[in-house]
Structure 1
Amino acid sequence: MRRGTTITWLIAGLFAAVVLAACGSPPTTENQTGGDAGGTESAGGTESAGGTESGGGQVGEGKGAEALQAVYDEVEGLEGDERREKLISLAQDEGCEISLYTSTNVDESGPITDAFTDDTDVDISLYRAGSETIVQRVLQESQAGYAGADVIGNNGPEMTILDQEGLLLPLETPIKDDIVDFAVFDNWAGFYLNVFVAAWNTDRISGDEAPQTWQDVLGYGKGLAMEAGDVDWFSTLVKYFQEEEGMSEEEAVELFKEAARNSTVVDGHTLMAELLAAGEYDLTTSSYQHRIPQLAKDGAPVEWQPAVEPAIVRPNGIGIHRDTDCPAGALLFVEYAMTDAQDMLIEFDRSPATTKVEGAFPEDVETILVDVEALLEEADKWDGLYEEVIRESGGEVIED
């Protein structure tokens, strides 16, 4: 599904989930990929989630909240190694396999879950899918009275939707103090930061021809590629043009429409970056920054620096499912993701959400933040405007 209607589609999905549950549709258990996070299923730690032996099971009203509160009581006042060891003991006593639903690529989430099991001797199953697919699945499972996940990791807007639907438990951990302020919420916190940047093929654009401003990017002409569902990138830049460049909303939106008329629209950041590397396009308007150095290390002629500023930053978050059967294990993994795994993110050219490690994204590059809550409040408006932009391309959306 193209992400141009992501937010409104997800809200409509709330109704669809109720209908499917009423019709007796069972929750699915097969592995999935797809969506905008990229990656492929592999043998490297990817398993189907679900079933009572993997932490998933039938929903019991309030059981997740009560059980998690009991865990919080057990570790109250503990920090560092003492807290970690207590959580490991509690998780092992639970005797269940933690179930993780995540939109993070398997080649990144797999090594993290493997390292977690090596360090804690607590098993974890991994279900990886696109961000919208995860939301749809969790909603359908909830309406069917089934909890397949103990921990959910997803993009900020999707985490906000699940939070608003009451599907995340309060996240009470001193480690939240180490996460960047804009990625800390009552029921979830940042795992890493997705950074949208302009990127180009260096065989097609030389160093002195590289774009310097977002107006340069959007006005480049033929050879552009735009991502089909980057409503958050789009809405954030429109507001930037209004507030910092003195444009009207109509003038700002017209810049994107003009770009679309010269663009191929691609569904998925991973695919768009790979096609850029293959020379299919000169310039992408909103690549995930971490993918560009990954490709460059493999010899691809791609670059994003000097950066077009400001870069657009959106948190990817992690939280505990309302109906978890493994509250200690779930909290243990969430805290692991926010501490030990942050160093691993650097190896993947990701930008950690913690302030305790030096990030992969250069500190001297100006950034602005996606306001995920405001984006959801105005979902119809921004999805509608971006649909208008994408239609201006006049071509078929390129899909994997």
Structure 2
Amino acid sequence: MASNFRQIHKTFCLVFLAVLSLSGAPTLWAQSTEGSKAAASVAELATYTGADRQARLIAGAKKEGTLTVYHVYPALSKVMAAFTQKYDIKTKAWRAGSEAVLQRVISEARGNKFEVDIVQNNAPENEAASREKLLQEVRSVFHQDLIPQAVPAHKEWVGITVDVWMAAYNTGKIKKEDLPKTYEDLLSPKWKGQLGIEGNNHAWFGALMAQMGEDKGLALFNNMAANNGISVRKGHSLLTMLVSSGEVPLALTVYSWNPEQVKAKGAPVEGLALQPLMAQPSTIALLKKSPNPHAALLFYEFLLSDGQKLLADDKFVPTSKKIEHPFTQTPVKYIDPAMAIDMQAKWTKMFEDTVTKRAK
């Protein structure tokens, strides 16, 4: 009897839940999966490739009315302004350094706070966010216009520009004919007290050592630091300004766009490409729990289309293959973002032991 009663009760419960489902009445199951349904809608929208994709994004973005962007590039403010002008979608932005942006995204997610839609950061930092399962795969028709290094297999971030590390020199302090042609040339006594470097370039340094051959590269920089000295400064833009003032006649690591931007304002600065030339993409990513996914994806597409020209006009190196730039014909070695994460501890220690702790 007890067994029959349990079977009857089980059958009744199943029928009751089915009736509730058909009538549209809410169930405990439906309530508990509300969050996963919202996440699925972001994924569905991000991977939708139908002919009406753009129309859907625009219509949805108009209803959302806004989006929030965390970013590291100061220049992204200009792109956001252009986006607002084109679509009348307001943008809220928060800007900080790459590590601070990554940490905020992670800490907010762990605290179940989901306010950010798009994050712009260096490739290793957004790859770290991908490992935290925070980013959404996006399929975009504009991916086909980009260099291969800008589109990883998982498509959870995409490169919008390329940060190329290069040297920069003060044209009033150093004659063109005296410029070094290789890193080995910097061992000459004439560079004593002339050199500077940005203090957080461990990824550049580690990847450069791998290209040179670790033993050979470390010996070269050890000799350079010991004999000629390398002053360490925080910030690529600051280091470029110190080159323009003549305080640092030759900087080893600025971004390619740094000297171009200050040169356009009349500063006596030129960039110098010493091989091997190292680079990494600067990227954008859509958050899995974006509160404004239509506006976020519309901005994503804008950055890969109209935004490419805007960034190129501001001296950045675009990832679009359709736009010419100074490095189109120049050999560039790209840092693997995953390797940069896995090797961070080793590369940081190498850089500190060889350069920053011996700064003069």
Give the structure-2-normalised TM-score.
0.84
Query: How many Å apart are 1:71 and its aligned residue?
Result: 2.1
Amino acid across the alignment from 1:110: S
Change over 3 Å in CA distance of 1:308–1:230 after alignment to 2? same
Corresponding residue number in structure 2 for 1:130: 97
- Give the alignment of 1:279-318 within 5 angstroms: 279-305=246-272, 307-318=273-284
Unaligned residue ranges in structure 2 (runs of 5+): 1-33
Q: CA RMSD in A?
A: 1.8
- Higher helix share goes to which structure? 2
Query: How many Å apart are 1:76 and its aligned residue?
Result: 2.7
Corresponding residue number in structure 1 for 2:115: 148
Corresponding residue number in structure 1 for 2:58: 88
SS at match of 2:274: coil
Corresponding residue number in structure 1 for 2:351: 386
Corresponding residue number in structure 2 for 1:66: 40
Give the structure-1-normalised TM-score.
0.76
Change over 3 Å in CA distance of 1:124–1:255 after alignment to 2? same
Query: How many Å apart are 1:99 and its aligned residue?
Result: 0.2
Change over 3 Å in CA distance of 1:218–1:272 after alignment to 2? farther
Change over 3 Å in CA distance of 1:88–1:233 after alignment to 2? same
Change over 3 Å in CA distance of 1:326–1:218 after alignment to 2? farther
Separation of aligned partners in 2, 1:215 and 1:137: 41
Query: How many Å apart are 1:392 and its aligned residue?
Result: 4.1
Amino acid across the alignment from 1:378: M
Separation of aligned partners in 2, 1:62 and 1:270: 43
Change over 3 Å in CA distance of 1:334–1:218 after alignment to 2? farther
Separation of aligned partners in 2, 1:168 and 1:70: 14
Runs of 4+ aligned structure 1 residues displaced above 6 Å come to none
Separation of aligned partners in 2, 1:283 and 1:218: 13
Change over 3 Å in CA distance of 1:115–1:209 after alignment to 2? same
Corresponding residue number in structure 2 for 1:39: none
Corresponding residue number in structure 2 for 1:165: 132
Corresponding residue number in structure 1 for 2:216: 251
Separation of aligned partners in 2, 1:99 and 1:173: 20
SS at match of 1:196: strand
CA contact (8 A) 1:178 1:355 kept: yes
Corresponding residue number in structure 1 for 2:29: none
Corresponding residue number in structure 2 for 1:227: 198
SS at match of 2:232: strand
Query: How many Å apart are 1:364 and its aligned residue?
Result: 2.6
Query: How many Å apart are 1:61 and its aligned residue?
Result: 4.4
Corresponding residue number in structure 2 for 1:277: 244
Change over 3 Å in CA distance of 1:208–1:134 after alignment to 2? same
Moved more, 256-265 or 127-136: 256-265
Query: How many Å apart are 1:214 and its aligned residue?
Result: 2.3
Corresponding residue number in structure 2 for 1:114: 81
SS at match of 2:355: helix
Of residues 308, 311, 324, the one that matches 2:290 is: 324
Corresponding residue number in structure 1 for 2:164: 195
Unaligned residue ranges in structure 1 (runs of 5+): 1-59, 243-248, 396-400
CA contact (8 A) 2:198 2:233 kept: yes
Separation of aligned partners in 2, 1:64 and 1:156: 27
Change over 3 Å in CA distance of 1:177–1:217 after alignment to 2? farther
Separation of aligned partners in 2, 1:260 and 1:141: 41
